[in-house]
Amino acid sequence: MAPSSSPRPVAGAVVAGVLAVAAALCLPGATAQLCEEYYHRTCPNAYDIVKQVLMNAHRSDPRIFASLIRLHFHDCFVQGCDGSLLLDSVPGMPSEKTSPPNNGSARGFPVVDDVKAALEKACPGVVSCADILALAAEISVELSGGPRWGVLLGRLDGKTSDFNGSLNLPAPRDNLTVLQGKFRALNLNDVDLVALSGGHTFGRVQCQFVTDRLYNFSGTNRPDPTLDPAYRAFLSQRCPRNGNASALNDLDPTTPDTFDKNYYTNIEVNRGFLNSDQELKSSPQAQGTTAPIVDRFASSQDAFFQSFAQSMINMGNLKPLTDPSKGEVRINCRKVNGS
């Protein structure tokens, strides 16, 4: 159908009405769906403020971009994207930060504090900590060479931390069936699983998460047979038996600080660092499910970038808290207001 050069008055009125409703739903304080324009009036420079703080942090910490996207992931997978991961422990409410999946590995909290301080100076009491994590994740990917996407905003911060819920986060030693179950429980599909796992295309990981694959896979006292022998020899030098379990290694040995498709090309040749990574390609259950997606992303960075951006939006929509009677905009991301 050819486009009309001038819309009919009725159509124009309908469009105007839709836009007016959308604008109303995006107003701060309204219970609504998320939208990109949420802070356009109340904090128009929010994106640029977050970006500047992250760029400053990266000068002294090249790992920070990968760390910040992981914070967003671990926040959203536990009771939704509500900033609960950022809360410190208080009597009767242990922090998600202290649970085994996060303790000693989740990092970047001081940078989130710096972002919050800068936003509070510019727009007091406006931008939520949950939205800071969403913005920081997108900016971190973009600054590392990855895709951009329109970040949906308008989340409020929750008032509770769910320590027990964080125990069920996707884990480095999970097999494919377990990973698929954890994603499906949140209405995320196999494309989301494979695309979001691509966040491992940059960042570092501790030796403790690969030593079983090197020396005692599944209790066999033998290496993981899916691990490329040359890569296994390299990792054995980096992570010797009974060595420093906290020693850091590149998740992607080819381009460790660049957001690209090399995570998938590594998996294609059995050079996935974590068991959960290699399972996406090598598990018998992967054939016909996740393996073809790995193949597609390994052959096309555009396909990966497009799916990753959409999957980040999908993840960011996990149970967003928008009801002012249940959430708030924290002044300090580490504690509930008034505490």
Contact 253, 201 (CB under 8 A): no
Burial state string for 54-74 with b = 16 or more CB within 10 A and e = fewer than 16 = beebbeeeebbbbbbbbbbbb
**Sign of the torsion angle spanned by Cα atoms 57, 63, 65, 71:** negative
Q: How many helices (H) and strands (E) does the chain have?
A: 14, 2
| DSSP secondary structure string for all residues of 54-115 | HHHHHHH-TTHHHHHHHHHHHHHTTTSSSSGGGPPPBTTB--GGGSTTTTTT---HHHHHHH
Q: How many residues does the chain have?
A: 339
Active site residue ranges = 74
Distances (CA, A) of 82 to 40, 77, 231: 21, 10, 39
Residue 158: DSSP 8-state: P
What distance in Å separates the CA atoms of residue 55 and residue 64, rounded to the nearest whole number? 10
Helix (H, G, I), strand (E, B) or coil at 31: coil
Tokens of 150: 């329109």
